[in-house]
Amino acid sequence: MELIVESFFNLDTIREVYPLLLSGLWTTLLLVLACVPLGVLVGLTVAVLYTFRSRWLNVLLVLYVDFMRAFPPLVLLIVIFYGLPFLGLELREFPAAVLALTLNSSGYYGEIFRAGIESIPRGQSEAARSTGLSALQAMLWVVLPQAVRNVVPPLTTNTLEVIKITAVASAVALPELLRSARIAQGLVYNPTPLMMAALTYLVLLWPIVRIVSRFERQMMTPR
Amino acid sequence: MQELIYYYFNWEVFWRYLPDMLGGFVVTVQMAAIIAVAGLWLGLLLAVVRTFRVRPVNWALMVFVDVFRAIPQLVIIVFMYFGLPYVGIRLSAFWAATLSLVFVLAAFAEENFWAGFTSVQRGQWEAARSTGLGFLDALRYVVLPQAIRLAIPPLTNRTIAITKGTSLASVIAVQEIINRASSAQAQAANPTPLMMGAVMYLIIFAPLVRLSRRIEKRYAVWSH
Cβ B80 vs Cβ B91: under 8 Å? yes
Across the A:B interface, residue pairs with CB atoms under 8 Å apart total 163
pLDDT of residue B223: 41
Whose CA is closest to A168, among A80, A40, A85?
A: A80
Distance (Å) from the C-alpha of residue B136 to the closest C-alpha of chain A? 23
Residue ranges of B 24-63 with Cβ closer than 8 A to chain A: none
DSSP state of A169: G
Give residue-wise pLDDT tens across range B9-46. 889 999 999 999 999 999 999 999 999 999 999 999 99
* Residue B224 pLDDT exceeds 50: no
Q: B23 to each of A72, A124, B186, how far by Cα in Å? A: 19, 54, 18
Q: What is the ipTM of this complex?
A: 0.91
Letter for the amino acid at B61?
L
Give residue-wise pLDDT tens across range A187-210. 998 899 999 999 999 999 999 999
**Burial (CB count <10 Å: 0-12, 13-18, 19+), residue B112:** buried
pLDDT of residue B149: 87
Q: A38 to each of A17, A65, A109, A146, B37, how far by Cα in Å? A: 32, 15, 10, 21, 35
**Cβ separation A86–B151 shorter than 8 A:** no
3-state secondary structure (DSSP) of residue B78: helix
Distance (Å) from the C-alpha of residue A183 to the closest C-alpha of chain B? 12
Distance (Å) from the C-alpha of residue A67 to the closest C-alpha of chain B? 7
DSSP state of B26: H
pLDDT of residue A70: 92
**Cβ separation A71–B87 shorter than 8 A:** no
- CA separation for the pair A106, A21 (Å, rounded): 29
* Residue A18 pLDDT exceeds 60: yes
Give residue-wise pLDDT tens across range A120-156. 999 999 999 999 999 889 999 999 999 999 999 999 9
Q: Residue-wise over A52-78: b if at least 16 C-beta within 10 A, else e?
A: eeeeeeeeebbebbbbbbbbbbbbbbb
- CA separation for the pair B212, B183 (Å, rounded): 32
- CA separation for the pair A147, A114 (Å, rounded): 9
**Cβ separation B74–A167 shorter than 8 A:** yes
- CA separation for the pair A99, B83 (Å, rounded): 31
Q: Tell me the pLDDT of chain B averaged across its residues.
A: 91
Q: What is the mean pLDDT of residues A160-183?
A: 95
Compare CB distances from A182 to B78, B86, B182 and report the shortest one's residue: B78
Using pLDDT thresholds of 50, 70 and 90, give the confidence band for residue B222.
Answer: very low
Long-range contacts of A50-53 (CB under 8 A, 24+ apart): A50/A110, A50/A114, A50/A117, A51/A117, A51/A139
Report the residue of A4, A8, A13, A75 to disrupt the B interface, i.e. the one with the largest count of B CBs within 10 Å: A75
Distance (Å) from the C-alpha of residue B82 to the closest C-alpha of chain A? 7
DSSP state of A173: T
Q: Residue-wise over A96-107: b if at least 16 C-beta within 10 A, else e?
A: bbbbbbbbbbbb
